Every structure is written in C-alpha cells, then in structure tokens.
C-alpha cells in the first residue's frame, strides 16, 4: 500500500457506510484499512459485500479499529447518540475523524468532540457531501458576485423524502434513543447547512420553528420547518420531512439575482449537476413576458461528491501527517454552527414555537 | 360592432390598463368601447397610445363610462382604496366587473362589492391572470392526481421583484392612501392565491407572518412573508417583496409527488409555459443519484393569459346577457378567500407576528 494513501477505518455497518466505502475506494488518496462492528460476522459480510481490499482488517469491535496503528482516520456512521463517546475516543487515539451528521445531540456535546480533536491534533469533518461538489463552489461564486447576485435577502430550502413503513418503524432516525432529532437532524441538517452556506456562515440572531411539527409516538420529529432571522433583515425558511415525496430545493434571492437548485443534497446524476441563475430579471414593457429567462449552468465532475469529500478530508490529513500542518478549522466551525441552529429550532419546537435566540 | 362582442369600458389609465387593453383587443369575444379618466386629455392620449378602435368613446370622468349604455362591462385598474366606491357604483349601473387585485382594503369592504354585484346580477372577476393560463389547469390536474401527487403536505410560494427608486418613491403601491397593502397586496396576493389554489381553496385555520417585515417611512409593506396552517396539518409559507430580484416560484410537495414552477404569475414567454413534476422520486440503491429526474411539461397557448382571462370573463357576461344565466359565483368566492388570508397576514404583522385565526 502506498505511503501517500490515507488509511481509513470504519466503525459500524450502517447503510450509509456502503456509500462511503465506495467513496473511499474512488478517492485517489484514500484506502480502506479496517472495519469494525460489534459483530465480527457482520463486519465480515459488510467487507465482502462492499468490495473491500483483501488486506482490509475485519474487527468484532469499534475499539479494535481505533487501536489499530495502521488506521489514520475513522469514518463514524453510528447513530447520533453514540457520536460523542466514539468520536472523542477516536480523537484520543489520534485518529482523524470523518463523522456523520448531525454531529451530536447538541452543540454543547459537540464541543467535547471539538476539544478532543483539537487537543489531539486530528482533523474533523462532518459527512455533508454536497459541500464538496464542484457545483457548490460554482453556486457560491454566483452568490458572492455583487454584480450578478447583489445582497442575499431571502432564502428557502427544503429536503423531504417519503419514508416507507419499515423506515418509520425501524430506522435509527425515528428512535429517540438513537437519532432523537429525527427529520430535523437528518434532512433538516442539510437545509440549515445550505442556509448558513448561502449566508457565509453568519449565524442568524434568532429562529422560530413553523407550527405543524409532526412527531411520532416516541416524540421524534417526522416533519418540521423553521424561519431564521438575521440582524441585517435577511430571512430564511426551511422545511424538512420524512412524509413527503423526495424534494430538495434551494432558492436564494438577492437584490440583483436569483439562484435555484432542485437536487442540492444529492444530484440527479453522479457525473454532472445543474443550477439556474437569473440576474436583473425583468419583464418586457407591457409586462406580458420576461425579457430574459434564467440560465442553466451544468457542472461536470469525474468523481461523485462523496469521493470528493473523502479526497478533501484525506488531503487535509496528509498535510497534517506529512507537513505537520494544523487541522483545518473551517470544518468543525461550520459543523458547530449548523448544530447551534438545529438546537435553536429544536428548542423553539419544544417551547411551543417561541422565538429562540441562537447561541454561540 | 358585432352583437356577440362584450363591450368593455375602462376607468383609469393605470399602466396595467395598457396590458388589459391589448388583452381585450386579443380576446375574440370582447371589444373596447370606452375609456374614462379624470382628465379627458389623458384618456385620449391613452386611447391613441394603445390602439383603441376609432369608434371607442373617450370620457373625462369615470361616471360617464358607467353611464354609457353601450358599455357591458368595466375593467377597474384604480388604486385599491378606490375599489369599493367605483366597483359598487359600476355594479349599481349594471356593469359587469373585472377588478384589479387586491380587490379591496379588507374582506369586509369587499363584501359590499360582492353584495352590489349580487343584487344587480353582474359578474365579478378579479384580475389574477395566471389563473386562466392553460398551464394552471394542467398543474392542477397533477395536484389533484392521487397516483401522481397524493396529498398536499407543504407548499412554498414567492413573488419578488426589484422596484426601482422611482417606483419606491412614487408608485401607487407604496402609498398608504392608495394601496396600503404594498407588497403584500400586490405580489403577496399572487402567493396567497397560489396557495389557496393548490389547497382547493380550503382556508387555512390560522396564519403567522414571518418576522422581518420591511416597511417604508409611511408604514407600507415593502417585503414580508407568512406561514399558513390547516386543520389537517398542511403547512405553507410565502415571501413577497419589492426589494429583491424578480422571482416567482411555486413548490407544492405531496405524499407522492412534487410540483415546481418558476414563472407562475407571468410566464417567461407569451405562447408557452412549463412546469416540472416528480412522482415517487427515489434514489438508486447506494443513494448516489436519483433513479428518475422530474419531468418538464410545456403547455402552449395561442392567446396570452390576460386575453384568456378577458375571454372567460366575457363568456360569462355573454351567458348572463343572452341566456339570463346567473353570475358564476366561483370568482368572487376565491377573491374573497384570498382577501381573508391577506387580512389575517396583515393583522399578524400589526400584532407583532401573533398567530391570527383566518376569518370567514
């Protein structure tokens, strides 16, 4: 195995780990070295089903992966309620950390993870894949363009999908002891991130959940929404749900331009993705049609976004290993902000849709 | 002039009356018979600038149009604060009534207009043109389809445009004594109508304005938004503004399907309009792409939507004149519901973003 490849261990055999296993295999600077599950048999089955390299080690515990000196970084797809325990332990074992979202049960809990990463000099990144698609950078270029977009005034984001009966009964995302944030932590995470992304990660001063939250019998959120407010008057809304047809939109409206994307979390296709923009859109003189229609922009990519995420994470890990650079602080910072807004929305729901100031 | 043409009078020379003059000329069952302005010269200039038929009568008052026995129907593009006075008078003079939106200062005031129309047996319709585009019927077909769309769960609508300095200083829509509802009455009217349209005109039980309303110095709304709540758990949000780039979206998300349109109020082009739909949208097995992309549907039309509106209105007027049919009640009913929701949103803003029950 080449010295330049970052060696990943995976702890847990969640569905999403299948996608990440493929992503690690696709990323040119990463390889899978080990997988651990509480059941050795399950880990072994997972490794064969997902084409692990024959030399990959199979462990019957998470600890064994963290103790393996051949593991540089771990990918943690465990339920949210287990994040703090295993993420902190991984950092203490000097493993760089790629952690699934939502990153923790709360920002306060997440701070223990950040502290562990900082004091052990390991890189942290959460598993928000769309951040790494080249389309995202292109969209951001548009939003940052004074001439084409101007100042952001309002934003709407939604991510819904229609969970089947089995999901609604058995998935970890509907279990209060596993992923207590439900649809807010899963789909809502992406909505919140997209809004923060569009606002240059400036935290809103306050949020108010929208009424009409749907909870399951155990009190886990199946559908909810919120409005977010900034000091300068910007307003954003989002809606997330396990109970509606698959939809994932971002709409950013600025003083001079408008951005639309309809597949922002997971692009329609692996190798290309589109978005549309309008600038100084206007009607003809009689207001019977538009002078100019929005333009569609299509961005191609050789690697799917999840492999680009792994590649970027591994690049940072390599730099730390080879050049003794410090971990890139951007990634834990935006994870924490996303969690802060998520916490505030959750608090607003719990307090009967009160306005809740966002912490810091 | 053929007996079968419905003869329109126009009172007032607003900008929007130019578009309607053309629409009346385009509609096969309508003709322009008269225009009245407070200034005879202005009316005369308007008639020549807008290619009125040479036999059209030019009046120096609104009353003269209403008193003309050759006028079957009047189009009223006056500022909202003048609607009740002139609409009621028109009805009393037995003129059928095509009234610009917002229809009145409040639903209570609008009731005086409805009463006048009912007691005088004249047809009422508001000027919401997009209702009459064949695309709208096609979109509604999709929303009504149990198999393709299922039950509506959430809806988002926005209509924003970037008013220039002259508009923000001088337009009637920013004057408290003319169009006191500002952006809510103008752009917001369409958002509210689209939401009611998608919900089969079932009124929400309550609304809550979103915080962050922007008012001008005179207290007129330049930008605002709201969330709407139904008994069955449906949630809708909208955003309307004079301060952002031209954007007009509807997004309806159902249990099985999703509808998107990005030019719902005024289509990009006069002769065709599109929307997109997805049904039982899903990812591939590894959740790396969509199995099926939403489909785009394009609907063509010979006449622009404003001419289709005039044609439909004139058809109803003809039926009343020729067959002594009663006026179609659908149109005043949906105008009234739109106004009721608008009133509730306004009340919520005025009461510091309280939840406000929608009247009936």
pLDDT tens per residue across span B229-267: 999 999 999 999 999 999 999 999 999 999 999 999 999
SS3 category, A177: coil
The minimal CB distance from A210 to the residues B227, B246, B260 is found for B227
SS3 category, A28: coil
Q: Which two tokens stand for residue A227?
A: 């409005």
Instruction: Please count the helices (runs of H) and the strands (runs of E) in chain B.
Output: 10, 16
Per the DSSP assignment, residues forming a β-bridge with B207 are B228, B356
Q: Which two tokens stand for residue A48?
A: 């064969």
Could you tell me the CA-to-CA distances from B48 to A302, B25, B29, B35, B45 in Å, in that order?
A: 61, 14, 22, 11, 5
CB B251 within 8 A of CB B277: no
CB B277 within 8 A of CB B295: yes
C-beta neighbour count of B59 within 10 angstroms: 21
Residue of A nearest to B155 (CA): A239
CB A204 within 8 A of CB A358: yes
Catalytic residues of B: 101
A280:B211 CB<8 A: no
Strands, E assignment, chain B = 6-11, 30-36, 57-59, 73-76, 96-99, 124-126, 152-162, 206-209, 214-215, 221-229, 235-241, 243-254, 257-261, 272-279, 295-300, 355-357
Residue of A nearest to B129 (CA): A288
Could you tell me the CA-to-CA distances from B104 to B80, B88, B186, B238 in Å, in that order?
A: 6, 11, 12, 21
Q: Residue with structure tokens 């006048």?
A: B116
The minimal CB distance from B255 to the residues A208, A243, A251 is found for A243
* Best B288, B294, B352, B355 residue to mutate vs chain A (most A CBs within 10 Å): B288
The minimal CB distance from A280 to the residues B245, B251, B260 is found for B245
Q: Sort B82 into a burial class: Cβ within 10 Å, 0-12 / 13-18 / 19+.
A: middle
C-alpha triplet A218, A222, A227: angle, nearest 5° = 125
Cα–Cα distance, A20 to A43 (Å, whole number) = 15
pLDDT tens per residue across span B297-323: 999 999 999 999 999 999 999 999 998
> Which domains does chain A show, CATH number per domain?
6-130 (3.40.50.720), 132-305+339-357 (3.30.360.10)
From first to last of the 360 residues of chain A, give the pLDDT tens digit.
445 899 999 999 999 999 999 999 999 999 999 999 999 999 999 999 999 999 999 999 999 999 999 999 999 999 999 999 999 999 999 999 999 999 999 999 999 999 999 999 999 999 999 999 999 999 999 999 999 999 999 999 999 999 999 999 999 999 999 999 999 999 999 999 999 999 999 999 999 999 999 999 999 999 999 999 999 999 999 999 999 999 999 999 999 999 999 999 999 999 999 999 999 999 999 999 999 999 999 999 999 999 999 999 999 999 999 988 899 999 999 999 999 999 999 999 999 999 999 988
Cα–Cα distance, B287 to B291 (Å, whole number) = 9
State the smallest CA–CA distance between residue A15 and chain B in angstroms.
Answer: 8
Concatenate the DSSP letters of all residues of A139-205 into one string: HHHHHT-TTTT-SEEEEEEEEEEE--HHHHHH-GGG-TTT-TTHHHHHHHHHHHHHHHHHTTTPPPS
Q: Which two tokens stand for residue A329?
A: 């602080």
- In a 13 Å sphere around the CA of B303, the CA atoms on its Cβ side amount to 22
State the smallest CA–CA distance between residue A83 and chain B in angstroms.
Answer: 22
Cα–Cα distance, B87 to B110 (Å, whole number) = 10
Provide, as residue numbers in chain B, all residues whose Cβ is less than 8 Å from the Cβ of A294.
262
pLDDT tens per residue across span B123-173: 999 999 999 999 999 999 999 999 999 999 999 999 999 999 999 999 999
A262:B18 CB<8 A: no
CB A286 within 8 A of CB A263: no
Cα–Cα distance, B45 to A234 (Å, whole number) = 43
Residue of A nearest to B230 (CA): A212
State the smallest CA–CA distance between residue B280 and chain A in angstroms.
Answer: 6
CB B313 within 8 A of CB B96: yes
> Out of A57, A95, A101, A234, which one is annotated catalytic?
A101
* Pairing verdict, β A96-99 and A73-76: parallel
CB B244 within 8 A of CB B224: no
CB B260 within 8 A of CB A245: no
* Pairing verdict, β B214-215 and B206-209: unpaired
């Amino acid at each position: 195995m080449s010295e330049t490849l970052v060696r990943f261990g995976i702890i847990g055999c969640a569905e999403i780990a299948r996608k990440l296993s493929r992503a690690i295999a696709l990323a040119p600077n990463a390889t899978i070295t080990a997988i651990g599950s509480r059941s050795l048999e399950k880990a072994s089955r997972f490794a064969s089903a997902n084409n692990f390299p024959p030399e990959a080690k199979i462990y019957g515990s998470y600890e064994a992966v963290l103790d393996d000196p051949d593991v540089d970084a771990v990918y943690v797809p465990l339920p949210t309620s287990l994040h703090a325990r295993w993420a902190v332990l991984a950092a203490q074992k000097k493993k760089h950390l790629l952690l699934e979202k939502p990153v923790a049960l709360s920002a306060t809990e997440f701070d223990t993870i950040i502290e562990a990463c900082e004091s052990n000099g390991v890189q942290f990144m959460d598993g928000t894949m769309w951040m790494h698609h080249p389309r995202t950078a292109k969209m951001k270029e548009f939003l940052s363009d004074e001439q084409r977009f101007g100042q952001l005034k309002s934003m709407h984001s939604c991510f819904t999908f229609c969970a089947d009966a089995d999901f609604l009964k058995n998935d970890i995302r509907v279990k209060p002891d596993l992923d207590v944030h439900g649809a807010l932590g899963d789909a809502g995470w992406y909505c919140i991130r997209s809004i923060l992304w569009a606002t240059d990660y400036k935290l809103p001063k306050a949020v108010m959940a929208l009424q009409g939250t749907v909870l399951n019998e155990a009190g886990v959120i199946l559908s909810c929404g919120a409005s977010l407010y900034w000091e300068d008057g910007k307003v954003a809304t989002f809606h997330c749900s396990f109970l509606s047809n698959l939809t994932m939109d971002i709409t950013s409206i600025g003083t001079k331009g408008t951005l639309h994307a309809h597949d922002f979390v997971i692009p329609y296709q692996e190798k290309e993705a589109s978005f549309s923009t309008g600038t100084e859109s206007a009607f003809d003189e009689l207001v019977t049609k538009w002078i100019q229609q929005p333009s569609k922009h299509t961005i191609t990519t050789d690697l799917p976004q999840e492999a680009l995420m792994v590649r970027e994470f591994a690049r940072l890990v390599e730099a730390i290993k080879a050049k003794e650079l410090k971990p890139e602080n951007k990634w834990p910072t935006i994870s924490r902000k996303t969690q802060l807004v998520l916490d505030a929305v959750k608090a607003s729901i719990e307090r009967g849709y009160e306005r809740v100031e966002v912490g810091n």
